[in-house]
Structure 1
Amino acid sequence: MKTKHIYLSLTILVVAFLAFSAFTSRSHINSGTSTKVIKFSHEQHNAVMPCEDCHTGVAEAQSLNARLLPTKSVCAGCHDVEDPDLCSTCHFPDVYEPMQQKKAGLIFNHAFHIKNAPLAQNGDKCLSCHKDINLSGEIQVRGMFNPTMEACWTCHAETKLATNACEACHISTANLIPETHRLSEFSTRHKFAAMAPGANCMMCHDNTTCQECHVANAVMTEGNTMENYYRPGEGSNSVDGAKVQKLSRVHDLNYRFTHGIEFKGKASDCQTCHQTETFCSTCHNQQGGDYASAGFVPYSHTKTNFVTIGIGSGGGEHALLAKRDLGSCASCHDAAGADPVCVQCHNDADGIKGTNPKTHLAGFMRSENGDWHSDMNAVCYNCHTDANAKPNGITGIGFCGYCHK
């Protein structure tokens, strides 16, 4: 009898588990989070119709919670939705629930962006944000072609184009951190992420964020000059025991005299803590917006033939050094995301080809398949530093706007 009760109890538990699983599975489908609801290929549909033929309400939508997905009536414009034999064309077996649109957690006005944003001038205005969705087969992950924050930053980094205030797009800014920051070891390993190629810490963090933990004498503020930088041997003034970033733990005592050697190869490392426009300019005095144009400059810059002017002169020593290590030049001669400072001299003022010094080798654009389209480490990005200077940038903006109007 006891054994019978045990089996009965197990049977009840199994049935309850299966019923619960079926209920949650059905709820999952109804919530619209499952990709196994509708079969749809953007690639096939894009060949015969533009985006707005299906997404009819997007052009006027002022909220992400407006209806952005096509309704059954829209599909009926091409498909025979009354023929039960054709249901399997779009629907999975025994799944006939409509695709539900998830509630949005962001503020975004499609109508405004389509009509007024820089991408409004482009013929592919939808693809400016939804990269490659026109080439996709069946969607495997909901939202996989939604723009990343880096894509939004292409315009929102330049405040003359769009605001960069968090609350302009995020409904709630409470605990607003990326998933990668929620890892338990992030506090001890974040420095590796910050030093990685393409690190985007500055999207959210300003120059004083590090000081919240790494206490020092204005390590990363505008007051961080050669007179008040954090000196070896100084004690911490932190009352909560925060980790102190002492200069002695990072640089040798004679680093002032040797830093130039390391700077040539690790300029980006220096700029992790030091603002070049303020810290470096204490000695390398700023003049005319380019702090390397006066004061202490590299020895090579003092040679009489450092710059030679005239067609056929070769440009002098500076041209040779630029060809050898353009990244080193860019680390000082930075135009803060605008056109490179090279154009101050290298410009075609008279419009006559061959009468002005060139910044690029002949035929550098003989093919549209340049590495700048696919490789973030392309030499172009040493000088071209605007937020849109990257592979797959937005047409008509910054670096991409030189060719893609």
Structure 2
Amino acid sequence: MLPRQNRHVLLALAALALCAGAGVAWAATARERSLAVYPQQHVPLRFDHAQHLAAGADCATCHDAARKSQSAKDLNLPGHEECETCHDIEAGRKGKPTDPPSNCNTCHPGFDPTVRKEPAKLNMPAANLKFSHQLHVDKKAECSVCHGEMTEVKLATRNQLPKMATCFKCHDGNVASNTCATCHPTEPSGRIRIAFDSGLLRPMQGNPLGLDHGPRYEFNHAARATSDRLTCMQCHSESYCQTCHDGMQKPLSIHPNDYITLHPVQARAGTPRCESCHRTQSFCAACHERVGVGMDADRTLRARNQKVHPDYAAWVEILGPQHHGIAASRDLGSCISCHREESCMSCHSELSPRRQINPHPAGFAQSCKKLASANDRACLKCHSSDSLAAKGCR
């Protein structure tokens, strides 16, 4: 068996592999960039931005196409045409000495044209953004504002692409629009698209809006959703919320482990708003019946080592502080989590073959005719039409 330390390392590596395989692509810290915005790249090149800038080149020397680019899908990288301004590529291919160096291996490490015709393929997927370089150039925005100072950068990667905090320096709602749809692609419904082949778009730690959708966000999102619902609705629809809040099916992460054992205490204290997700009569009562709690549960399932109610005499026969009628008048919600309307009617309805106990308080007869004339649907639960007519209520 592996030592404990090694087992922990293997478990951690397995967890990382599982996350990668599942496409978990949101960034965890403010230093990272979301794969849902900037997909992973493969740049098999050798290049030194600092060296070229020191030699007198500027951004437009190699990236002049960016001045007219109006889409994030444009690959505004220099080709041989731009490189040949300084590098004699043709002489380099023939093996002639050049200054600066111009053979293929200068930029394509390990590439030998005598062995294969093409160098390793460059893969730089387009950013999942709506962006126009031309618009920003026309607004006199400097390249370094978005891409940072390149004087100490060798090969530029997705780490030199701007983050939302950088964009918000201008997109503050005054200088430029700060609505999400300004830069982020939208669905036909108008909401922000959050699912991409490269990952799932989720706000990360340190984002300017303070919306860190980290691992615990499902437990503390309610306050933000209540105070800033319009921001949430730019990405999420009501149906998205109902996937957890529909009262029929919930993700396992909503409640802690072994919550089925813990929930009676919280339910009685009213700590959680159970009714916001669960229907008492269809969810609670049905579950309680299946586990043997409630009058309608199978007798073989009922627990024999615990009691829900006091002794039968105090609970049913003797009118006092422990009588079920007093308990029901104080907290009917607790009763209906196990008992249905039919449970009460088995004793309190004149239609029942069992004994009939009048549930109404003293003096109720003086007002029952008025109540029945206004709406006798409740009366018909326990009384027949002929009975109401005989009582003068119809």
Same fold (TM over 0.5): no
- Greater relative CO (CA pairs within 8 A, separation 6+): 2
Q: Shorter-chain TM-score: which interval?
A: 0.3 to 0.5
Q: Which has the larger radius of gyration?
A: 2
